[in-house]
């Protein structure tokens, strides 16, 4: 990668890890935060040290905190805790990240969401421009599981 590039990272299951909690029959009943994703944090730090600007682009809702349901650090807390060289955090409130990536000149985006990565690569295939996605491995289906979990919780809060 060329130094001076804008590079972004998703947050959940990219910079922090979640794992499933299973019932006695082996069915997932919850997904809980476990730890920072050290391998990807090392990649983030290395890319910054090579002269690149680093962004976090997350589908999270800015300011939303649900400590009784999720003990993960907010992106700002992780940045402070690990002294990460992140230039800016963008919250998309569960919308497609493509506009944020394009508007900020991001050329590489790391993400665990297959749908986001597919959209990014489709745009590249159609326009031969824009960011390239790097798919980050995560437990199968955990992205959708977490979306459903938090959609239900947020909906329950407003009923």
Tens digit of each residue's pLDDT (9 = 90 or more) over 60-72:
989 877 778 789 9
CA distance linking residue 150 with residue 106, whole number of Å: 28
Find, among 38, 35, 34, the residue nearest to 136 by Cα: 38
User: What is the reported pTM?
Assistant: 0.90
Q: Are 106 and 112 in contact (CB under 8 A)?
A: no
**CATH architecture classification, 6-157:** 3-Layer(aba) Sandwich (3.40)
**What does the pLDDT average to over 6-31?**
96
Evaluate the CA torsion angle 109, 144, 155, 34 in order and state its sign.
Answer: negative
Q: How far is CA 123 from the centre of its chain?
A: 19
The domain segmentation of the chain, as residue ranges, is: 6-157
Q: Is pLDDT above 50 for 107?
A: yes
Q: Are 80 and 34 in contact (CB under 8 A)?
A: no
């Amino acid at each position: 990668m060329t130094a001076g590039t804008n590079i972004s990272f998703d947050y959940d299951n990219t910079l922090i890890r979640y794992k499933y909690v299973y019932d006695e029959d082996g069915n997932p009943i919850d997904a809980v935060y476990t730890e920072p994703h050290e391998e990807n944090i090392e990649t983030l730090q290395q890319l910054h040290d090579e002269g690149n600007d680093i962004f976090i682009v997350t589908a999270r809702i800015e300011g939303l905190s649900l400590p009784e349901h999720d003990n993960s650090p907010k992106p700002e807390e992780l940045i402070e805790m690990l002294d990460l060289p992140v230039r800016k955090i963008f919250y998309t409130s569960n919308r497609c990240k493509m506009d944020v990536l394009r508007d900020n000149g991001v050329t590489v985006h790391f993400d665990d969401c297959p749908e986001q990565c597919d959209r990014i690569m489709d745009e590249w295939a159609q326009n031969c421009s824009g960011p390239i996605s790097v798919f980050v491995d995560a437990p199968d289906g955990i992205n959708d599981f977490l979306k459903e979990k938090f959609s239900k919780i947020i909906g329950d809060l407003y009923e």
